[in-house]
Amino acid sequence: MALFGADVLGYLGDMELMNVTNLACARGGVAVLEGVGFSLAAGQVLLLRGPNGIGKTTLLRTLAGLQPALEGDVQVAPDAITYGAHADGLKSTLTVTENLEFWAQVYGVTDIAPALQAFNLEELADRAAHNLSAGQKRRLGLARLLVTGRKIWALDEPTVSLDVASVALFADAVRSHCAAGGAALIATHIDLGLEADVLDLTGNKAGPRNLAGFDEAFE
Amino acid sequence: MIAVLIRDMRLAMRAGGGFGLGLAFFLIVVVLVPFGVGPQTALLGKIAPGILWVGALLACLLSLDRIFALDFEDGSLDLLATAPVPLEGVVAMKALAHWLTTGLPLTIAAPFLGVLLNMPQAGYGWLVVTLAVGTPALSFIGTFGAALTVGLKRGGLLLSLLVLPLYVPTLIFGAEALRLGAEGFDNVTPLLMLAGITAGVIALLPFVAAATIRINLR
């Protein structure tokens, strides 16, 4: 469910999943990005690059519908995006299976076995999440993407604390997701070994602008 | 949405989940009051309805800040807000889970603790009835308060200050219905007022709380 601003307009082409034009977004009442435009086709991986603080996370949160855009258009089908944040959203007292089953039920998916298999979590299935290592937690967080059944993965630094083998697992998951007609939007600093287009946000840094003041949150 | 309820119930039951915290607090309050008041059974019987209601209310308050704070910290709240379930439904389910793990056990345990306070015999039935009708309102109002303070570090104090005044009508009508019932008077009016408050907050506050969370997540 898109919470803000993601209008469904008839401009999306056959293969296009998302089209963004002239998007500006703000964080903490300060405009960080402006003039962002790109389109995402089925099967495409788009890597977001740019220095720390440029607004990669803000862009992803805006696209996911967690915050409204300052200006610009996002054309995307409703319920197309799933957002993978820095935090994995795991409950430490639940087991790997219980964590994954919860999200599967929320998204109306019944089978979690492919997700466990894709991220090599089968042996850990009955472990409580607080007994997992940081990398294993991350893998579980990424396995959640597979039970959402959403077309577009908007991922924020998905490979943090993953080892080389797990990064390869992740790249495989993205590849098969794209082969099945999905697409991914990934903010990352490392080389994932994927066939991908790059969107460098360095040139989109927002200039100073006057934003609404104190009441901004209530408009 | 049922999945959210089941998850929250499961989390509450697991170690460190906070199930029983409210109940233990309620028990402590009710056990300590007779020691504080001294051996005056007539006086105890008179103040029992008020003490039981205040105790139940404070016990509810104790676990409120966990409702959203934990989900906010581990990122689940972001993911729930972008999931294909309405946030209003998530909020309502979380409030229901809070009631099932706090209000319901309090309601069931209260008659046994009423004995310690020398409650008049006519009051036991009314004690269960008023708590069963009134504690859902405490959970739903509290969920709204938790939504307001989600994302604030150490929001617990602010949460208590915000929620306590909103609890006052429930407390007044709940304790009054119980007192009148225990003394054998007609208590239909305060009981209806109590039920009205509960029905009203269950209908309205999930929408308000969901809107508040959306603003807080920005």
Q: What CATH number is associated with residue A59?
A: 3.40.50.300
Contacts of B5 in chain A (CB under 8 A): none
Measured CA to CA, the distance from residue B123 to residue A120 in angstroms comes to 59
Rg of chain B, C-alpha, whole Å: 18
In the beta sheet, which residues pair with residue A184? A45, A153
Partner residue facing B3 (CB), from A91, A105, A218: A105
What is the nearest CA distance from B4 to chain A, expressed in angstroms? 8
What pLDDT does residue A3 have? 47
Q: What is the pLDDT of residues A129-144, one digit of tens each?
A: 888 898 899 999 999 8
What is the nearest CA distance from A110 to chain B, expressed in angstroms? 12
Number of Cβ within a 10 Å radius of residue B132: 16
Mean predicted confidence (pLDDT) in A180-206: 85
CB-CB under 8 Å, B10 with A98: yes
pTM: 0.88
In chain A, the number of structural domains is: 1
pLDDT at A4 over 60: no
A52 found inside a domain? yes
Which residue segment(s) compose the domain that A156 sits in?
Answer: 42-68+79-198
The answer to whether ipTM exceeds 0.95 is: no
What is the nearest CA distance from A144 to chain B, expressed in angstroms? 10
Could you tell me the pLDDT band of residue B188, with boundaries at 50, 70 and 90? very high
Could you tell me the pLDDT band of residue A11, with boundaries at 50, 70 and 90? low
What pLDDT does residue B192 have? 96
Of A37-46, A190-199, B127-136, B153-162, give the range with the top mean pLDDT.
B127-136
Number of Cβ within a 10 Å radius of residue B4: 22
Could you tell me the pLDDT band of residue B179, with boundaries at 50, 70 and 90? very high
Beta-sheet strand order (sheet of A183-187): A81-84, A152-156, A183-187, A45-49, A197-200
Beta-sheet strand order (sheet of A16-27): A30-41, A16-27, A71-76
Rg of chain A, C-alpha, whole Å: 18
A147 found inside a domain? yes
> Which residues, in sequence order, are CB contacts of A141 under 8 Å at separation 6+?
A84, A88, A89, A90
What pLDDT does residue A1 have? 41
Interface of A with B (CB under 8 A): 1, 3, 61, 64-68, 79, 81-83, 85-94, 98, 102-103, 105-108, 144, 217-218
A187's enclosing H/E stretch is strand A183-187
